[in-house]
Every structure is written in structure tokens, then in C-alpha cells.
Chain A
């Protein structure tokens, strides 16, 4: 590696400058793959850089100036990242809008951010923008909509609409005229300028736009790259979590820029599982929901295998589990040569195929973050030989602020603070952090900024304990702690995760704040319960129908009883209700990142809650 490409030095540059440095050092090296029409297409660092520059010139020609904002609404694609870096190149900021956001939410973000341009992935997103412009004052700040995939849009005749390729063509055309100006803008770029704005999904209230600088993003990413020793040969990812979210931006864009790794784009959302298997990336970031789903996909497929295969699996898991437990206790290293040899054997017989099935057979390190995860899930993957390190962080800390790593893998903990980050606990146990990764405030919202930042200390809103080895153990969100009428403090996530370990439970929301016992709203896992019902000859038509079957209630009751047995009496769930509808982002019950909005759920299901606690509640 040339000294110019040392991640620690690159991390002090603005992001587009890092791209420039990589392209200059080795323009033919592979940067991205995207599967189009069944074939993986490759993009080199040279092409990556040239496209971003060309798009930046096009944007500049259209009137994008330093300090302006560009929004992107679409599924992950190379174009998403090109637009992102081009906006930053010109001294502007880029913000992502979830493709699943309904148009009023999209409208709110476009209006609030006063975005000047918006890049839309396809016709669906473009239609939402057009719809949003029809309402109210018509988004006066928005000059142009740039659509990537023009399929189905032949008959659209609007002056404010052009295609991604149009902008690239414009960039090529204006290169001679504006190239030097645009390059000068890059040279003048301040690493502390706002590079991206991330609208937090907001489990309460309207989303807020967190402003993050180049330095914020790259400092956090550089800490992970440094600690885990990520380079082009030890890191590669499939970019599949929404890029609007800070985590995917950090793990795909920032860590790619710093390590020179390859980022792969799946063909469509429906093909991620298949594409993952084809690519077999060396790094993988998942939210707990993804890991739970992967685990379920194995457990469920197993039921359709032969008795012999099942026996081999069960035996391998029984032998492998203690090895994994010992490894986690010793910080992720195999304890002794006996464990090593036995694991190798189990790997040959069983685990290798399971790893391949998941597409994680080449993985060096996996990460889990975004919400608390059940230790059972982590142990399951550890047993298979897939190490998952828990990470902790938030939008306002530019991604990772705490990281598990070899040597620090205590169950139920979320790692040590990254280098350069100060931390302390408030008297009530809330975690406060300060350092180069802490954000620059919320866009157009000084009040919220003042509430979140106090003398540079960021209030995380999480109640944590710091373990003797320096790892943090997160109890819960400060505002989610349940205090029963008996005065007991209960952290709901622990019990909820235990419930969600069940194959049949998709989501569990614990209730009991100010009440004399705990209860739960439970959403069943449609696929697995449906299959279970089929196996037991129970006819059903819809989710609602399935959820109301008495046999399904009995099934869930048994699962709840099993969880209750693991907790103290005050923490036991005395009653529960199976929700008759699936929680949905469109209905406001989940955030775009599939976290439950407790307040919304408690309001929406007040009838069910009434049934639990009687009319007095």
C-alpha cells in the first residue's frame, strides 16, 4: 500500500478527495459490481471517480452550488452513491429518503430540507415526487427531479424532469467549460463541512435531519477499518440495507473509500439472498431482524430434510455450541487445540454447507447493530463459525461509536468505545459521548440540537452499564423503561428479544408501564406459523384469519410460557394478545428501519390493551 492510501490519513480528507486519491493510485482496480440482466457488471475506481466528477459537472451546470442539498429517493444502486459523492464534491450535502416512505413523509423531508434536486430511482419514486409537488406550495426550492430508471416514463412531459443519463451527458458536454471550476470546488472542500444529512426514522414525532460532516463519517469508519484491519483483501460487502440509513452509508461508502474494498449491488430486493450466495462477501452488516431471519431460514429448511441430515445437524450443533461458548468467553479465539480440531471436523461435516447456504462462507467478520439482539442468535452463528461482532452507534454519532472486536466479545455487550471517543455516564445511567464523530446538529432545528448536545456531549438516550473490560451493556432506551405500579423497573427489550427467539413470533411489544402486571402484544411470523398450520391441517385464508385460530393462540401461549420460565416472577408476561394485523411502515406502526413505534402501537391497539387490563386501563 502506498503511504498516500493509509486509512488514517485518508480519514482526514473530504470523502470525494478520498475517491480521487484511490482513482489516481490504481484506476483499474475493481470498486463496484452490479448485477444487471443476470450478469455482474464491474466498475473500476477510475470509472467510479470519472462518473462522480461528470455528474458533479452536470449538477453544477444545472445550478447546484455549495451549501445546496440533493435528495435521493430510491433503492440502493451505484447511481445512489454517484449522486451522493457528486453533491458532496460541489460542497453540498446529500440526504436519502427511504423508497418505502409514503409520499407525505417524502414531501415533509423534501420541504423541510429545502432540497434543490432530487434523484429518483424509478417511476414509482418519481410519481411520489410529482404527487408531493401538487400539494401545498409545490416545493418551491426543488428545481429538478433526476430519474435513474426511465422505464414507463415515456409519456412524462415535464420541464422539471430529466434522466440520470441526461445529467451525465450534460456533464460531458460542459466538461471543457466547467471542469476546472468544479475541480477547484473539490480542492477547496472543508472536511468539517456538512456532507450528508440523515433523517432519523424517529420512533416519536416527525423525522429530524442530522447533519454529518466528512470528518464525522470518516472518523467513525476509520476506527472500524483500523480495529478490524479491513483492506481490499479482507473486506467486501453486498450493499443491501437502505443507504438512507447512516449504517449502510458507513459500511458501504465510507469503509469502502478507506479500505479500497469492493461494494456489490444486488439485482433487486427480491434477489438479495441469491446474490449474497453468489458474491459471498467478506464482511456483512445485519440488523437483528436480518440475523433472526437467517437463523429461521436454516431452522425451517431443516424440517424438510431427511432424518439423517437432521441428526447430523443436531449432533453438530450440540458439539459445536460449547466450543462457541468457550470462544466467546475468551474473546473470540478458539480455546485450545481440541476445540480447533473438533470445530474443523464439524465444519467439514455440517457447518460448511450451512455457511454456503447463507452466502457467509468467506466472511471474516460480521456486524450486528441497530437494535438489541438476543444472545441466543449470536451464539447460533458463532457455533456455525460465523463471528458476529455487536456494534453500537446512532445516526448522531455518524455510525459506529462502540465496537466489539477480537478480545472483546462478551455476550449481551455492545463493545468498547472507538479510539478518540470520550464517554461518561449521566447520573441516571444515560450514556454520553464526545469526540470527532459527534454530529453537527439537526438541520433547521436549533431546539432539538440543544436538547441532544450539551457542551459537545451527545445524549444517546440509552441507559447503559460499563463492564470491567470496557464494553458497554445496554439496558434499554431511556424512554422505554417500564416501571410497573409495583415500582419495579423492567427493561422490555430483554424480554421482547427472548420472545422473538421463537420461530413463531415476529414482533413483541411489552406493556405494563404504571400497571400492576406485564403483558405483551404479539405479532406472529406469518410464514412459519402458516407452515405450522398447514402441517397440522389447519385451514386458514389470510394473516388475520391465521392469527385468530385458537390453535395458534395455544402455540404462542406455549412459547410465552417457555420464556416466562427464564425470567423472575415480576418479569413474567401474564397476558398477551395476538395482533390481527401485521405491523407496517405505511400504517405508521414501524419506522422505515422496521423498529416499532411504541406510542403509535399503543394508540392503535388500545382496544386490545383494554382487553388485557380490563376497562379500567
Chain B
């Protein structure tokens, strides 16, 4: 069986700068795959290539065997690839429920006329969408804030809402960009638990870019390390953490920082 996501020799140049250089790896269905590396290593650029924000300068990206290189972003949502952003991307003045409903819009097919009459299929579809939203609310344990405007919530909760919106499209592959940065310990642990539950209960494949080594090492099945736009190691967390190149490029320098 082909892997869920396969990158072959993917590159991205911005003028003379090689942000991503000939990176290849594959993500298997049902795993938690983390992408780590120092600042400027090209992780987020790679993420943006996968989620079609940028077009790669070279190489190709395949999702479940089909080539998705250069497909428009909305097409990815139909393929059930979802992502969250490093910076919050929520509708601050809308309620939690409405933010989640927005995520569902690719699944709504009613035409404007029947939606206006709110009868028959349109009505059923809307009720079904609302139920789906409630499932997500229950999953993320945010019942108490469902009617609050997202802008009034704490950062950790806003991130949770953003995750909820990504879940609304019922993703097969979920791309999480630095989910826990700026969160406190309790919020981090909550998110780690949700990510594990997503994988185990809903069978979602997760690929994440993360700075928090604790979370990466605890919950990832495999880790890919990048530096200067290139992949320098890949494997299970314990092996990657012991790789001398990784220690030098990333973990080592961090430890010195701390000392």
C-alpha cells in the first residue's frame, strides 16, 4: 500500500535562497509524524508546500497515491487534508459554534434557493452539520464556551477552537503547525492528549511541526529533523534524539543556550 503522504525531492527557492532542498519522506496512515529543526530550518515552508500555500520549485507531493503538487488549497480540503496555523486564524468576533460551522462548509451542498427556504435537504444538512459540530465540541471538551465569541477566550482555548475547525472537515490527514507554542503546561498536556485521542479514536493521521521537544518525543511515532532546508535524520524519537548530527544541529545548541 502506498503511504498516506509521500514527498519526493521537494524543493523551494525564494530568489537565491534555498528554503527547502530536495526533501523526501513519507507519512504512513495512522501515525503521528513530527517535523522538527532549528528556527529557519524550513519546516513551515515545507508545511506550506504540502498545504498548497506555496508551489514547489521542484519535486512532487503525493497524497494516497495521487499527485497533489500544485493543486489549489480548496481541493485539498475536499481530499480531507486539514491544517492549523502557527498564528491564530479564527474569526474573533464569531462564536465557537460558528467558527466550527465554517470548517464544515465544504460538506454543505444546498443551493442558495433551498437554503433560503430552509426546507428539505438544506434543513437536514444543516441539522447534520450542527450535530457534527457538537461532536467536536464534546471531543475537545469546550461545552462551556460554545456560545462565546472566540476573541474573548484565552489563547489556549482559541487554539483548541482552531483545531476544532480543522476537525470539522473530518480530515484523514491533519497538519498542525506549532500547536503548543505560547501555551502553559496544562494546556500543552491537554493538546497532547487530544492529539493522541485523534489518532487512536478517529484514526486521523497527524503531521506536526513542533518546537516543544517534550511533546514531540512523548507522542510521535516518527520524527524527521531538518536543518538549513535539508533533511538530516528520520526515525523513531529515541533513535533521532541519539543521532549525533541532530544533537549538533538542534538539541545540542539548545542545551548550550540553556547552560
Contacts and interface: CB of A to CB of B under 8 A. Distances in A.
A and B part of one assembly: yes
B144 A151 contact: no
Contacts of A268: 141, 143-144
Contacts of B137: 37-38
Contacts of A154: 200-201
Pick the most buried of A37, A39, A152, A267: most chain B CB atoms within 10 A of its CB: A37
Given A37-B131, A37-B137, A37-B138, A152 B201 contact: yes
A155 B200 contact: yes
Interface in B203-238: none
Interface in A332-382: none
A571 B200 CA distance: 61
Interface in B126-142: 130-131, 134-135, 137-138, 141
Contact of A38 (B146, B193, B201): B146
Nearest to A272: B144
B197 interface: yes
A151 B143 contact: no
Contacts of B138: 36-37
Contacts of A38: 130, 134, 137, 143, 146
A151 B135 contact: no
Contacts of B193: 152
Interface residues of B, number: 14
Nearest to A36: B138
Given A37-B135, A38-B137, A267 B143 contact: yes
Consensus secondary structure, chain A interface: loop
Contact of A152 (B130, B134, B144, B197): B197
Interface in B169-227: 193, 197, 200-201
Interface residues of A, number: 13
Contacts of A39: 134
A270 interface: yes
A151 B134 contact: no
Nearest to A273: B144
A151 B197 contact: yes
Interface string A252-270: 0000000000000001101
Contacts of B141: 268
A39 B130 CA distance: 11
Contact of B134 (A37, A155, A271): A37
Interface in B4-26: none
Contacts of B146: 38
A37 B139 CA distance: 10
Interface in A136-174: 151-152, 154-155
Contact of A270 (B130, B144, B197, B200): B144
A274 interface: yes
A279 to B, nearest CB: 15
B77 to A, nearest CB: 24
Interface string B22-55: 0000000000000000000000000000000000
B144 to A, nearest CB: 4
Interface string A274-296: 10000000000000000000000
Contacts of A270: 143-144
A311 B144 CA distance: 32
A155 B200 CA distance: 8
Interface string A29-48: 00000001111000000000
A154 B201 CA distance: 7
Nearest to A154: B200
B154 to A, nearest CB: 13
B201 A151 contact: yes
B208 to A, nearest CB: 19
B104 to A, nearest CB: 15
Given A154-B201, A155-B200, A268-B143, 6 more contacts: A37-B134, A151-B197, A152-B193, A152-B197, A271-B143, A271-B144
25 contacts: A36-B138, A37-B131, A37-B135, A38-B130, A38-B134, A38-B137, A38-B143, A38-B146, A39-B134, A151-B197, A151-B201, A152-B193, A152-B197, A152-B201, A154-B200, A154-B201, A155-B200, A267-B143, A268-B141, A268-B143, A268-B144, A270-B143, A270-B144, A271-B143, A271-B144
